[in-house]
Amino acid sequence: MEKKIVKSANEAAEQIIEWGESHGIETCFDRAQRLKPCPIGAAGACCKTCHMGPCRFVGKNAEEEARGVCGATLPTVASRNLLRMAIAGSAAHTDHARDMAFILLAVANGETSDFRITDVRKLYKVAGILDIEFGNGMAVNDVARDVALRLIKDFGRQKGELNYIKRAPNKTQERWKKWGITPRGIDREITEAMHRTHMGVDHAPDNLLLSALRVSLADGWGGSMISTDITDILFGTPRPVKAEAGFGIFKEDEVNIVVHGHEPSLAEMIVDVVNEPEMIAYAKSKGAKGINLGGMCCTANEVLMRHGIPTAGGFTNQELAIMTGLIDAITVDVQCIMPALVELSRKFHTKVITTSYKAKIPGAVHIEYDEHRAKEIAREIVKFAIDNYPNRKAEGIHINQKFPVIAGFSHEYIEYMQGGRWRASFRPLNDAIMAGRIRGVVGLAGCDNPRVPSQGLHRFLAVELIKNDVLILSTGCGSHACGTAGYLIPEMALENAGPGLREVCEAIGVPPILHLGSCVDNSRILTIVSAMAAEGGLSDEIGGMPVVGIAPEWMSEKAISIGCYLAASGVPVIFGGESPVSASEEVTKIMTEVWFERFKGALHFEPDPEKILSLTLEYIDRAREALKLRKYEPGKFGAERVLLDMAARRELEKAAKPHIGIY
């Protein structure tokens, strides 16, 4: 008999998948089983940039001997393919950021009354970073306009460098300068990189891969960081909220609306609108008890972080949510939207609403979003969902399972939680790492993927890492994987974390896995590690920190961009799954050894989760050793006490660090 294949490690998801199979409903899990990846393309050995091809680079000694029609080699093609992925990923994040910047400008100019500057403090912080002078008398909107215009310039800038480059530690910046990868303007980097990948332009693997780093840095220190900051300014910098995760968030007697995708502005409006008494009354008039909003994918993270809106989970849960039969409408915008939703929705009463002019799906209802009429459109959508409530059929599998989550860990709150309003800093975190209470920090991020037991790798690594006293910063669908497993709660530390991490979590009152937000919020990892470098006692740059990035179930091109900007910034990164450049040894070597030497970062691909774990711990321990930190031993920690006599006190360092807290 055929061995049962676990498709999702999320029990509830698995239940729905099985229900679907028994009802002849196909999902990405079934398609992933049926549709094996093309082995040539999967390994990076297929070139289809011109119409002389596609050419495949296979055979014995392909690395040395295989040639395309134009004469391109395998390393050229593999690196060029990777670069194309990085470009697309960077384009996705940065285009999202552009939309956010233009909303900020519209707010500042008074062109939309639906949005406002929610977090003035953050606005001032960003203005400070951008060297925008603002006095007491300056109107908030004027500051906001300056900030928006200054950030918008980053997109079209031709020379110089992005505004936020200077937020990186100096030594990190120097490495970028030395290797010529400091990004100039976002659009210029994307255009130039696309140009390089055109037939017959750049053929040097190392050069192509440096371009991948540069275009990705334009994402991390450009698009993503801009997006995080502006979203915080417009909708509030997150601080801890209690919420719920899982398919059990949907209510049988209420109108269920799901916001799915990435850009938060429409979702924010919907959050407002579902609480309007008129809307609730309207829902009641249609027989529902109320309106229940749930999130999906990174839009979920955005509204979870700021409003505690419950989440139905990450990428691979999107079809499954519809299969509960409880979703009256699902709005989608950009990125990671499965076109399968529309076809699937026809089997239920669910309406799929596309909202972006950039992203339409045949068969979906299209209600185009325009930030100038945001609330009006949000009302239209909610009303549409309510109108659909009476059409709800009994079909679908109802799931009760849901887990509590504590989310909302912005950079600012993480700083605050370590000392409060008056002495917020990263000192306690650095101290804990130095003392060996915390072995290291891992950014556990990226997609979930139906080609592995979905979410399972995230969950395995999360549990193992915290057991090993590694603090986890999670984002994107990684957070969903942990949240829907009940991992994002403080009790997780008491029951599952190693003894040192547990002490730290207990002292502060946090879960051992801190949910930082959506995938653009990986930028928060960059600023957090930069703050750790500035705080002192560890590495004085991002490179060399006992910090590793992991995307065990990545699938999107955005993940490649994130992996590249983390690597270029100095973070060793390990991706799960088979390598998209595995066909070329040279390319693999550049992305690991050569990058590590130049940037102290790397991008590995490792399908075996056990090996991901051991490689991660190895990187962390090597960094600890290089920093001459106390050797990590579970349960044994403590700072070497330096007792100060008067002479020692006179020598104390004089400068204190500048600081901007959250409150």
Partner 1 sequence: MSKLIASAAIKGAHTLVKKAEDMLQKVIVEKGEDFAFEFPDTAFYLPMIYAMTTFPVKTLGDMRVALGMAKELLHEEPEEHLWKPYLGEALDSGMATLFAEEIILALKYINGLEPAKDTETGYVYNGFITDTIQRNLGIQLVDGTMPGFAVIIGAAPNDETAVNIVRKLQGKNILTFLSGHVNGNSVTKQLLRKGVELGWDTRIVPLGPDTEHALYAADWAIRASLIYGGKKPGDYKEHLKYQKDRVFAFAVVLGELDDIIWTTGAGAINMGFPAICDTDVPVIHPTGVCIYEEVEKELDHNKIVQKAIEVRGLKIIVEKPPIPVAYGPAFEGERIRKEDMFLEFGGTRTPSFEWVRMRGMEDIEDGKVVVVGNNWQERYEKGGEMPLGIVVDVAGRKMQKDFEPVIERKIHSNINEAQGVWHMGQRDINWMRISHNAKKEGFTLEHLGIINATMTHHRFRAIVDKVQVTIYTDGSDVLRLMEEARSVYKERDQRLGGLVDEAVDIFYSCLLCQSFAPSHVCVISPERLGLCGAYSWLDCKAAFEIDPTGGNQPIIKGELLDERYGRYTGIDEYLKKASGGAVETLNLYTIMENPMTSCGCFECIIAIIPEANGVMIVQRGHTEMTPVGMKFSTLAGSVGGGTQNPGFMGIGRNFIVSKKFLHGDGGIKRIVWMTKNLKESLKEAFEKRAEEEGVPDLLDKIADETVAEDSEKLLEFLTSVGHPALEMEPML
Which candidate, 156, 50, 57, places its Cα nearest to that of 101? 156
| Cβ nearer to partner 1, comparing 562 with 662 | 662
Q: What is the 3-state secondary structure (H, E, C) of 314-365?
A: CHHHHHHHHCCCCEEEEEECCCCCCCHHHHHHCCCCCEEEECECCECCCCCE
| Cβ nearer to partner 1, comparing 393 with 649 | 649
| Cβ nearer to partner 1, comparing 131 with 651 | 651
Separation of alpha carbons 7 and 27, rounded Å: 11
Which candidate, 176, 153, 140, places its Cα nearest to that of 97? 153
Do residues 262 and 297 make contact, with C-beta atoms less than 8 angstroms apart? yes
Q: How many residues does the chain have?
A: 663
| Cβ nearer to partner 1, comparing 437 with 524 | 437
Separation of alpha carbons 234 and 371, rounded Å: 13
Least spacing, CB of residue 441 vs partner 1, in Å: 15
Separation of alpha carbons 119 and 305, rounded Å: 14
Three-state DSSP at 47 gives strand
∠318-324-327 over CA atoms, to 5°? Answer: 70
Burial (CB count within 10 angstroms: exposed 0-12, middle 13-18, buried 19+), residue 304: buried
Handedness of CA 161, 165, 166, 172 (dihedral sign): negative
Give the binding site for partner 1 (CB under 8 A).
Answer: 240-242, 404, 406, 413, 416-425, 427-432, 435, 437, 489-491, 503-504, 506-510, 638-639, 641-650, 652, 654, 656-657, 659, 663
| Cβ nearer to partner 1, comparing 394 with 642 | 642
Least spacing, CB of residue 129 vs partner 1, in Å: 18
Least spacing, CB of residue 291 vs partner 1, in Å: 25
| Cβ nearer to partner 1, comparing 23 with 657 | 657
Least spacing, CB of residue 545 vs partner 1, in Å: 17
Least spacing, CB of residue 330 vs partner 1, in Å: 28
Three-state DSSP at 514 gives strand
Tokens of 314: 């990450």
Least spacing, CB of residue 509 vs partner 1, in Å: 4
Least spacing, CB of residue 107 vs partner 1, in Å: 27
Least spacing, CB of residue 642 vs partner 1, in Å: 7
∠154-109-155 over CA atoms, to 5°? Answer: 10
Q: Residue for token digits 């979203």?
A: 231
| Cβ nearer to partner 1, comparing 3 with 654 | 654
Least spacing, CB of residue 407 vs partner 1, in Å: 10
Do residues 446 and 557 make contact, with C-beta atoms less than 8 angstroms apart? no
